[in-house]
Amino acid sequence: IAETRIRYGCPRIHIQLRREGWPVNHKKTHRIYCLEGLNLRKKRPRRHVSAAHRQQRPVLSGVDQCWSMDFVSDNLFNGRRFRALTVVDNFSRECVAIHAGKSLKGEDVVGVMESLRVLGKRLPVRIQTDNGSEFISKSLDKWAYEHGVTMDFSRPGKPTDN
């Protein structure tokens, strides 16, 4: 898990182990994590972050295989800023959802995805996103795990991946 999820710390690796069915105590996870030298520094230098090589993304052959999510923002005439969450199907280029608001958080993203699941009865196999705080939140990670959706994050500093 630590090789595939480089940025995960000990608590998130422990959660992943429990999800995969390993009956392991958090203290044992922490001890093994430290013995393997996986401790992350508190503040990483941004220029020299080592990244694992990503596998090639599979070629899409149908609708609802892969969606992309991103935020766009604009200013109103009175100077106030608003943001909009856009969800696009990568195969058909259909705009699945747009949700606008003054400040959008991870819980808002989960709410939009849940409404798509309930009202439209649609779920993707994989969701491509950038590494924004809304997309790496624990609430979205939990929702994706519960519904069998794979989160595919772009490489840091590579906005063209999304």
> Is residue 134 scored above 90 in pLDDT?
no
Give tens-digit pLDDT for 26-53. 999 899 888 888 876 565 555 433 334 4
Give tens-digit pLDDT for 64-123. 889 999 999 998 888 889 999 999 998 999 999 999 998 888 899 999 999 999 987 889
Q: Which amino acid is at 75?
A: N
Tokens at 4, concatenated: 């595939």
Give domain 66-161's CATH number out of 3.40.50.1370, 3.40.630.30, 3.30.420.10, 3.30.70.520.
3.30.420.10
Q: Which amino acid is at 18?
A: R
Q: pTM for the complete prediction?
A: 0.64
Quick check: 122 and 88 in contact, CB under 8 A?
A: no
pLDDT-based confidence at residue 159 (cuts at 50, 70, 90): low
Structural domain spans, the chain:
1-45, 66-161
| Rounded CA separation 114/105 (Å) | 14
3-state secondary structure of 17: helix
